[in-house]
A and B are shown apart, each in its own frame.
Chain A
Amino acid sequence: MLGRAYVGLILFFLYAPILVMALMSFNESEFYQLPVQYSTVWYEKLWENDTILNSTWRSIWIALVVTVIATVLGTAASIALWRYEFPGKGVLQVLLFPPIAIPWLITGTAMLIFFFGVGLGRGTPSVILGHVALALPYVIVVVTARLATLDRTLEEAARSLGASPWIVTRAVTLPWIAPGIVAGALFAFAVSFDQFVVSYFLSEPGDTTLPVLIYSAIRKGFTPEINAISTIIIVLSMAAMLIAARFSKFGGER
């Protein structure tokens, strides 16, 4: 009984704000008047609001580019760290994790200074590089966890049968860790798509991503179109989560 109450409370805290927001996106009133008058007017307005649409597409394509780069690099790094012994390996593994722990505010400041220092300055390349650096450790953690369940003798068996390291990777390693790669890619996408601090610091004025746009919208005057786009994103990301969880079984079972 008490247990159910706990679960109920947790779910309430998790989902109540989201439900309120979703509800308000369907409310005709701009000023959150109750009772809710069902209307899709904000979704229609959203469709005409180029600023929101543009920054949404921008966030999506940046996240996709980041996902591809971070997943490829992270998977390759995980396989190398798992397969080979080399001097300094332990240090390298430790050095890969602080980006998860260091506050993004500090990472973002450091990146801004660095990118100006090397002459790259603000702009899309800097945003993508920054996001990749933030997403990479997540991919490595997830893929490494999956690799830990791979039986090393499978790779040895493939080599004993004449397979080159590349064929071993393609035929044995990658199929086994595929669920981990998918999960890592989802993380990378989420880290980039969600990213506010680093995007805010590194974007050129005008080239905003969705989180940056929402931030400035809150300061300048909020329209329920933001509720609408947020609701769409929540529905899409929960659908993606469910599909991924079903497909990968969260990297647990084989």
Chain B
Amino acid sequence: MTEVRVEGLCKSYSGTHALEDISLTFPESSFFGLLGPSGSGKTTLLRAIAGFVNPDRGRVFFDGEPVEDMPVEAREIGMVFQNYALFPNMTVAENVAFGLAVRKVHGAEQSRRVSEVLDLVQLGSLGQRKPHELSGGQRQRLAMARAIVTKPRVLLLDEPLSALDKSLRVDLQIELKRIQREVGITTIFVTHDQEEALTLSDQIGILKDGRLVRHGPPQDVYDNPGDAFSAHFLGEVNLFDITPCDSGHCLRDGTFIGVVAADPGNLLSVRAEHLRITAAEPDIDIRLRANLVQRIFAGAMGSCVLEWQGQVLKAVGRHQEFSHLPENGQVWVTWSMEQARWVRP
């Protein structure tokens, strides 16, 4: 299996930086999620690895071998496109066989590998259909089958599930993960859906304005986001301004939060699931008097929208935690400083 590495990748389009000095290693057999808002450069990075984008500067290595001068067709990649890009004039089986035919794999060997991979993605009986006769989920599986049948060194997925509806997406996430485990190909995928990234990836990288702001195992990044952007991008977070006061640091309303060694300008980040809301005054030093604006019931989970000092706070938890609260009015908000993090603005 192949390790992919990019070093100092830069690309700009008419003055705007799509990629700015990106260096990153995608470990072999990993499922690596590239995450970011639209325009963050994640797709450009994926296309630079594929070879569709020529970087202005920087290098791309597959297992230490430089590939930046190789055309796409020589890189031995598999790619799944956002719209699947299935060949409309070919049957399901012909679509899958295309990459094999190009590699001069014909006859019995070809049919064997085609049916093997169609079985893997559970399209075994649909080989003679045309792509337009398939459902959205089946097209996605076909795109996957076509990309992996050639045993590529690296599998690149560009927003592979974004065209599907929610419930199908969740099913296919599990499916995608299973297929990737079975074939063990180094997989890099691009998404703007944080949940998808967390579900699928062993490693994630967060991009913003062409820069890599944070990368690592999903839980690491989630627990220690490092900066406000990454904290916001994964999950729901409440950020508090901190000012020096007396012998330590205080919130905006003067609530003393302790003697902490924070860099000036850093923000205190508390995840929505770490906020505790009570009707009665708690016996904890850090407690805020906030106005409960809305209680939202969402099945097993619930959430609260609060207003404190002109700032909107959000709390999530099992809905029982909130059911004893009044519909609106003054409540107490607390958290444990062990679960709070300092983040760069």
Contacts and interface: CB of A to CB of B under 8 A. Distances in A.
A158 B99 CA distance: 8
Interface stretch (A28-36, A138-146, A149-157, A196-204): A149-157
A179 to B, nearest CB: 12
B85 A161 contact: no
Contacts of B102: 161-163, 167
Nearest to A168: B73
A162 B99 contact: yes
Given A162-B102, A162-B103, A163-B102, A157 B88 contact: no
Nearest to A161: B99
Contacts of B61: none
Interface string A145-188: 00000010110111111111001000110011000000000000
Contacts, number: 61
A157 B73 contact: no
Interface string B76-92: 11110111011111000
A252 B52 CA distance: 29
Contacts of B146: 157, 161
Given A162-B73, A163-B73, A164-B73, A157 B150 contact: no
7 closest Cβ pairs, A-B complex = A161-B99, A157-B85, A153-B85, A160-B79, A159-B72, A162-B102, A153-B81
B190 interface: no
A161 B98 contact: yes
Contacts of B76: 162
The range of chain B's interface size is 20 to 34
A167 B103 CA distance: 12
A254 B50 contact: no
B52 A156 contact: yes
How many residues of A sit at the interface, in one of the four size bands? 10 to 19
Contacts of A156: 52, 72, 79, 81, 85
Given A161-B98, A162-B99, A176-B89, A151 B83 contact: yes
Contact of B88 (A159, A160, A254): A254
A151 B85 contact: yes
6 contacts: A151-B85, A160-B72, A162-B103, A163-B102, A167-B102, A254-B88
Nearest to B77: A160
Contacts of B73: 159-164
Contacts of B99: 161-162
Interface string B133-147: 000000000000011
A171 B95 CA distance: 11
Contacts of B50: 160
Given A154-B87, A160-B156, 16 more contacts: A151-B83, A156-B85, A157-B79, A157-B85, A157-B86, A158-B87, A159-B71, A160-B147, A161-B99, A161-B146, A162-B73, A162-B74, A162-B102, A163-B73, A163-B98, A163-B102
A172 B76 CA distance: 19
A167 B72 CA distance: 13
Nearest to B78: A160
Contacts of A159: 52, 71-73
Contacts of B71: 159
B189 to A, nearest CB: 14
Given A159-B72, A160-B77, A160-B79, A154 B85 contact: yes
B182 to A, nearest CB: 20
Interface in B32-51: 50
Contacts of A176: 88-89
A158 B72 CA distance: 10
A172 B156 CA distance: 21
A77 B50 CA distance: 27
B73 to A, nearest CB: 5
B81 A157 contact: yes
Contacts of A151: 83, 85
A162 to B, nearest CB: 5
Contacts of A175: 89
Contacts of B78: 160-161
Contacts of A154: 85, 87-88
Interface in B99-151: 99, 102-103, 146-147, 150
A59 B156 CA distance: 55
A160 B81 CA distance: 10
Contacts of B88: 154, 176, 254
Given A162-B150, A163-B102, A157 B87 contact: yes
A158 B81 contact: no
Contacts of B86: 157
A167 B150 CA distance: 17
A162 B156 CA distance: 14
A254 B74 CA distance: 31
A161 B76 CA distance: 7
Contacts of B85: 151, 153-154, 156-157
A154 B50 CA distance: 15
Contacts of A172: 87
